[in-house]
Amino acid sequence: MSHMLINKCGDIFKNRCRALAVLAVCLGFLAWGGTARASGVEITIKSGFDGRCKLGGLNPVVVVIEAVGEGRKGVLKLKAGERTYSVPAELERGARKAIRFSIPFFGAEERIEAAFEGEGGDQVKAGHTPVILPERTIFFGVLSDSPKSLYFLNDLDTSGLGGGRAAVVELDRQIPYSLDELENINFIIVEDFRTGELAGSKARLLEDWVALGNCLLAGAGDSAHKNLTGLLAGLREPLRHGDGVMVPVAGGIAGSTPESLRDVVLKHVTPYSLAMAVKGSGLQRRAAGAAKMAGAAGGAVRPERSGLYLIFSLIILYVLAAGAAALAGKRLKWAFGAVVAFFCLFFLGLSLHGGIFKAVAGGAGVRVHGPVSRTYALTCVYPHRGDGARIKISCASFASAQGASPEADALSREVYCPGRTGHYIHSSSYEPGGAKCIVLTAGGDGVISGEIINPLPYDMENCFMIIGDTVIPVGKMGGRERLSVKYSQDHNLRGAGDYNYLDLLYRAAGVKDQRRHLIDYYFYHVDDYRPGGRLIGFARESAEVEINGAGRSFRRTVMNVFPIDIRAGDGSLSLPPEVVRPVADCGPAEEGGSWREYSGGPGGELKLYYVMPPGLEPAEIAITGSPGAGENSVSVYNRAAGRWEALGPEILAGERLRPYLSAGPLALSVRSGARVLIPQMAVKGVEHR
Amino acid sequence: MNAAGNFHTGGENGVLESLYVAVLSFMLAAYMILVVSREEGYDPGLYRNAYVYFMVFDLILFSLFVSFWETGGAAQGKAYLLRAAAGVIILAASPAPLILAIFLAGRINPANFMLPLMLKAVWGLAVVCLRDFLEAVKPGWRWNGFLTGFFIFSVLVLSGLLAFFLTEYRQAVITTLYDRDMPGALFLNPLLSLAGLVYCQAGGGSQAGLDPFYTCLLFWGLAAAALGTAAVKIPGGAGRG
C-alpha cells in the first residue's frame, strides 16, 4: 500500500514521506518507552538450570519483577508455547519480587512471553528465548564450589546411556527446585561441596530424588571431608537408597577422567536412571495418554447404583402416596395437592443435601508404589455454574487441562478451564515414604511362594500378580489383608504381543470396562522398570479438589501397582523372563518400538539394556524369542572387548557371561525387518544380600 | 359430578390423578433403567435429555388427561374459574417431584422447571374452559367431547405438521427450535413452545430468546380467561353436573 502511494508521488514528496515515517517511528519509540516508565515495572526472565532447559520436562523459570516508581498491583502473565500461567502480584514501592514457575517445554523453539498487567489495564511486556536441549540430553547436575573442574564431563562418552549429549549444569546451591524439576537431572555430582550445610528439607529432597531410582555420585577424594557430610556422611561403599544409589567415587571426581567416570556410571546405573537417559521423562507421553483414563474418571462421577435405587424407591413411594390421596374421597379434598407439595419439598431437600447445586467431580489414576510413589491421575470436573472454573487438585505437582487452552496459576497450581462442559485435568504427583515392598520366594522348581499383603487400609478389587511371564489372579483383597501364595509358574503370558498380553491380563484379573483403560495406560505410558514382580489392584479412594475456591471431595478409581521383590529360597535364584525388564532404545525418533514389540523396518535398530537387580550375581542367562532365528539378527555388546558380537540361540553362562556384564548392563542390539517381540531374559544366579 | 362443584371429588379426578402420576413414573423409571443404567461413563447430557423427553411426554399425556378433568361446570358461577384453575394447577404440578428426581439422579444443574409447568397449567385450563364453554352453550350435545379432543389434536399435532411442511416448503434451515425461520404464530402450539423452552434450558440454542414462550403463555392465559368468563356469563349455562 505504502509502495503504491510512494510510486504515485514525486521524488520530493517521497523524501518527505520517508522523513515523516522515520519521525513517526521515533515518536512511537519515545511513546513506548514512556509508557514502560510510567508503568514502572521491570521484568527479567531466567529459565532452566544454569540457563539450560530440557525438552519435555518441567523446567524452573524465574521471573523477577521490580517496581521502579510507585507500588504496583496487577497480574503477571506468562506464556510459554500454548500454555498460559498467571499469578497475581503486588509490589511495594521499589520492591523486587521473584516468582518461580515450573514450565514444561514441548517444542524446541518455544519462547517465553511475560506481561505484567496493571490494574489500570496497562501492560509491560518482556520476552525470553530459553535454551532448550533435546530430551535425551544427559544432564550432569553439579553441586560444587569449583564447578569448572567438572566441565570435562561434557566430553563423557554416553553411547551406553542412549547416546544423548552430555551437558554439565551447575545447580543452584540452595536447590530451590521441586522434585519434578530435579527429574530433568540425570546424575547429580557432588564434589567440593559442603553437603552438611544443606537445609534439612533440601537434603530430604535429594534423598527423595535418589529414592525414586536416580544415581548420585560423590567425590571421595581430596574434598571428601566436605562432600561426605550431612546426608552423605559415612559413605564408603555404594549405598542403595530406595530404588536409587549413592556412589562414592574414590580419588574424587575432579581428578577422574571421562572414561573412568563413565565406567562408574555404567556400573551403578539403575534401570530408572537409564530409562530417563534413554527415553526422557515421558511427561508429554503421559499427558497425551491420560485421555485413556477419561472413561474411568467419568465413571467415578456417575451416580452410584445405590443412589439410583434410593431415588427409584422414593418414586414408587410417591406414586403410592399420590394414588392413595387421589382416591381417598371427599374427606381429604386437598390430600393430593398436599402429597405433591410434600414430595416436592422432600426431593428439593434431598437434592440440596445430595449436592446437585454443587460442582461434580470424579477421577481415575495409576499409582506406582515404591520408595517414592508416583501418581498419574485424570480428574473430571463438571462445574455447577458460570463459564469456566478454577480447579486446583491437592498435592498435584503438575497439572494440565485437556481441551481448550487452559490457563494455569503457577503458584497455587490452579488450572483455569473456560466453558461449562466437563473439564479433564491431568495431574501427577510424588509421595515419598511409600509402602514396604512385598517379598516372594522363587524356588528352583518354578514355584513362587510367600505372603502378599494389601498395604492399603481399604479394599482392593480385581487384584492380580505379574511374576515375570505369569499372571496370577488374586481377586479381592480386604484392607491390610494378608494372603499366602504358592503358585507354580505356568508362563501364561509367554510370547504374547501387545494386545494379546493386555487381553490375557484382563481375563485373568476379571477386569471390565473402564478399568481396562487404566491397565492399558500403565503399560503403555508409565515407565516402570524396577526389576521384580507386581501386585496390581483397584481401589476407590477419596480425593480433594478445589473448584472456584470451594473444596470438594470426590471418588477416584486408582489402579495401585505394588512392587514385589523376588528372593531366592536357598541362595540360588532363578528369575523367569520379564522380571528384569529391558530399557528399550529405538533411537531418538522413538519409532517402531512399543512396550512389548518392535517393528523398526529396514535399517531400524533396537537397543536393549538389561540392568541386573542389586545383589544378584548372574550365572546363566537365557534370552527368549530365539535370537538369531529367521530374519532377526541379535548382537550382544562385549564390554571387555568393546565390540558387538552376534548372539545365537545359546545360553550365556559362567565365564562366557562375564565380559558382557562386567562393566555395566547387558546390552543387546536387535535388527529386524519384521515385527519382533522384544527379547526377554531368564536369569539364574546366586544372591548376595 | 355433584352440583356442589368441588374441583376434587375423589371419583374420576382421583383416578385421573393417580393414573397420570403412575404413567409418568413408569416412563421415567423405564428411561433410567434402559438408558441411564446401561451407560458406562458419566454423561450429564443424558439426564438433560431425560428432562427434555420427560417434559414433552408429560405435556402430551397431560393434554389427554386434562380434557377429562371434572370441574363441576360453569354453572357454579364466579367460583368456577378459580376452582378449575386450582385443580388443573395441582394436576399440572404433580410431576414436579419426578423432575427433581431427574436432577437428583444425574446431579445436573436444576433447570427452572416452573416455567414449563406454568405453560402446561395455562394450556390445560384453556382446554377445560373450552370444554365447559361448549357444555354451557349446548349442554349434553354429543359433539362436545369430540370438538374438545379435535381442538387439542389440531393445536398440538396439526400445527406441528404444518410447521414441518412449512419449513420443508420454504427449504428453511432449522438449527434450533426457537428458530427465526419458523413463523412466530406456530409457537402458539404449546408443545412446540414448551419443547423449545426445555431445549434452551438443557443447553440448546435459541434465536429468539424466550419470547415465543411468553407469547404462548400469555395467549393461552387470555384464551382460558375469556372462555371461562364466557362460560360463566352464558345465561342458563347448566354445566355438566
Contact across the interface for A344 and B41, Cβ inside 8 Å: no
Query: Nearest CA of chain A to the CA of B21: how many Å?
Result: 6
According to DSSP, the β-strands at A550-568 and A423-432 are unpaired
Given a contact cutoff of 8 angstroms between Cβ atoms, the answer to whether B127 and B148 are in contact is yes
Picking from A306, A310, A334, A351 by the largest number of B CB atoms within 10 A of its own CB, the best residue to mutate is A351
pLDDT score for B234? 79
Q: In the prediction, which pLDDT does B7 show?
A: 44
Can you name the residues that pair with A620 across neighbouring β-strands?
A653, A684
Asked if A330 and B10 come within 8 Å (Cβ–Cβ), the reply is: yes
Residue B30 contacts A where some CB pair is shorter than 8 Å? no
Contact criterion met (CB below 8 Å) for A363 and B42: no
Confidence of residue A590 (pLDDT cuts 50, 70, 90): low
Q: Tell me: pLDDT of A399 over 80.
A: no
Residue in chain A closest to B23 (alpha carbons) equals A319
Q: Give the model's pLDDT for residue B76.
A: 78
Indicate if the pLDDT at residue A313 is higher than 60: yes
> Which CATH number describes the domain made up of A138-281?
3.40.50
Which of B109, B114, B117, B201 best probes binding to A when mutated, by most A CB atoms within 10 angstroms?
A: B109
**A457-463 CB contacts, 8 Å cutoff, 24+ apart:** A458/A539, A458/A540, A458/A541, A459/A539, A460/A537, A460/A538, A460/A539, A460/A560, A461/A537, A461/A538, A461/A539, A462/A509, A462/A510, A462/A511, A462/A515, A462/A537, A462/A538, A463/A509, A463/A535, A463/A536, A463/A537, A463/A538
Q: Which three cell numbers stand for residue A312?
A: 427409584
Cross-chain CB nearest to A336 (options B41, B90, B97): B90
For residues A388-409, average pLDDT: 64
Q: Please list, in sequence order, all residues whose beta carbon lies within 8 angstroms of the beta carbon of residue A563, skipping any fewer than 6 positions away.
A: A369, A370, A437, A438, A530, A532, A533, A534
Q: Above 70 in pLDDT, residue B168? A: yes
Task: Provide the pLDDT for residue B239.
Answer: 42
**Chain B residue nearest residue A329, CA to CA:** B10
Reading the block at residue B83, the C-alpha cell is 376452582
For an interface test with B, the pick among A336, A343, A357 (most B C-beta atoms closer than 10 Å) comes out as A336
Cβ–Cβ gap B21/A318 under 8 Å: yes
- State which fold the A583-687 domain adopts: Jelly Rolls (2.60.120)
What architecture is the A40-133 domain classified under in CATH?
A: Sandwich (2.60)
B42 touches chain A (CB under 8 A): yes
Residue A229 clears pLDDT 60, i.e. is over it: yes
CB contact B8 to A (< 8 Å): yes
Structure confidence at residue A482 (pLDDT)? 92
CB B44 to CB A348 under 8 A?
no
Q: Are A292 and A514 in contact (CB under 8 A)?
A: no
Instruction: Provide, as residue numbers in chain B, all residues whose Cβ is less than 8 Å from the Cβ of A513.
Output: 40
Top residue of B9, B38, B51, B94 to mutate, by most chain A CBs within 10 Å, is B94
pLDDT digits (tens, 9 = 90+) for B9-47: 446 788 888 899 999 999 998 988 888 777 766 777 888
Answer whether residue A591 shows pLDDT above 80.
no
* B chain contacts of residue A343, beta-carbon cutoff 8 Å: 96-97
Which residues in B lie closer than 8 A to residue A301 (C-beta atoms)?
41-42, 107
Answer with the residue of higher pLDDT: A401 or B142: B142
**Is the CB of B97 less than 8 angstroms away from the CB of A344?**
yes
In this complex, do A336 and B96 lie within 8 Å of one another by their Cβ atoms?
A: no
Please tell me if the domain spanning A40-133 has the same topology as the one spanning A138-281. no
Model confidence at A248: pLDDT above 80: yes
- Compute the average pLDDT of residues A570-595: 80
pLDDT in tens, A9-37: 445 444 554 555 555 554 444 433 333 34
Average pLDDT in the A419-425 region?
A: 75
| Average confidence score pLDDT of chain A | 82
For chain A, say whether B110 makes contact (Cβ under 8 Å): yes
Query: Are the CB atoms for A399 and B61 separated by under 8 Å?
Result: no
CA distance A293 to chain B (A): 11
Distance from C-alpha of A524 to C-alpha of A520, rounded to nearest angstrom: 6
- Tell me which chain B residue has its CA closest to the CA of residue A358: B109
Residue A4 has pLDDT above 80, yes or no: no
Q: How many CB pairs under 8 A join A and B?
A: 128
Say whether A315 and B101 touch across the interface (CB within 8 A).
Answer: yes
Q: Which one has a higher pLDDT value, A406 or A589? A: A589
The C-alpha atoms of residue A603 and residue A52 are separated, in whole angstroms, by 33
Mean pLDDT throughout A49-77?
86
Chain segment A521-570, per-residue pLDDT in tens: 999 889 888 889 999 999 988 888 888 777 888 888 999 999 999 988 77
Structure confidence at residue B8 (pLDDT): 44
For the sheet containing A41-47, what is the strand order? A41-47, A58-67, A96-104
Tell me the shortest Cα–Cα distance from A298 to chain B, in angstroms: 5
How far is A460 from chain B, CA to nearest CA, in Å?
21
Q: Which of B10, B36, B108 is the closest to A329 by Cβ?
A: B10
Q: Which of A305, A343, A360 is closest, CB to CB, to B97?
A: A343
Domain definitions of chain A by residue range: 2-38, 40-133, 138-281, 284-294+356-575, 305-354, 583-687
**B205 vs A297 pLDDT, higher one:** A297
A1 pLDDT band (50/70/90 cuts)? very low
The more confidently predicted of residues A123 and A191 is: A191
At residue A188 the predicted structure's pLDDT band, cuts being 50, 70 and 90, is very high
Chain A residues touching B37 at Cβ < 8 A = 305, 308
Contact at CB, B36 and A318, closer than 8 angstroms: no
The shortest C-alpha distance from B83 to chain A (Å) reads 12
User: Which of A336-340, B75-79, B232-236 shows the highest mean pLDDT?
Assistant: A336-340
CA A365 – CA B87 distance, rounded (Å): 54
ipTM of the complex: 0.84
Contact A298 B97 (CB under 8 A): no
In A, minimum Cα distance to B41 occurs at: A299
The fraction of chain A above a pLDDT of 70, given in percent, is 86
- pLDDT value, residue B26: 93
C-beta atoms of B40 and A514 within 8 A: yes
The dihedral built from the CA positions of residue A476, A481, A486 and A487, taken in this order, carries a sign that is positive
At A359 the pLDDT is: 67
Residue A662: half-sphere exposure toward Cβ, Cα within 13 Å: 12
Q: Which of A311, A326, A384 sits opposite B101 (nearest CB)?
A: A311
Query: Which runs of consecutive H residues, i.e. helices, occur in A510-576?
Result: 514-525
Which residue in the block uniquely carries the three cell numbers 490375557?
Answer: A504
Are residues B8 and A334, on separate chains, in Cβ contact within 8 Å? Answer: yes
pLDDT at A337: 86
Residue A597 predicted with pLDDT over 70:
yes
Q: What is the pLDDT of residues B187-222, one digit of tens each?
A: 899 999 999 999 888 877 777 788 889 999 999 999
In the predicted model, is pLDDT for residue A190 greater than 90? yes
Q: State the first-to-last Cα distance of chain A, in angstroms, to the nearest integer.
A: 81
* Residue A304 clears pLDDT 80, i.e. is over it: no
| Amino acid A384: pLDDT | 66
How far does CA B51 lie from the centroid of its chain?
15
In a domain, B238, yes or no: no
The answer to whether the Cβ–Cβ distance between B106 and A303 falls below 8 Å is yes
CA-nearest residue to B98 within chain A is: A315
Region B223-227: what's the mean pLDDT? 92
A336 contacts A275 by C-beta, under 8 angstroms: no
Question: Which of the four pLDDT bands, split at 50, 70 and 90, describes residue B94?
Answer: very high
User: What is residue A95's predicted lDDT score, i.e. its pLDDT?
Assistant: 85
Count how many domains chain B has: 1
Amino acid identity at A521:
Y
User: What pLDDT does A159 receive?
Assistant: 85
User: What pLDDT is stored for residue B216 in this prediction?
Assistant: 93
Provide the pLDDT confidence category of residue A412 given band limits of 50, 70 and 90: low
Pick from A308, A342, A352 the residue to mutate for testing the B interface (most B CBs within 10 Å).
A308
Contact B42 A340 (CB under 8 A): no
Residue A102 has pLDDT above 90, yes or no: no
Give residue B48's domain range: 12-233
Minimum distance, in Å, between the CA of residue A294 and any CA atom of chain B: 9
Of A298, A327, A354, the CB nearest to B42: A298
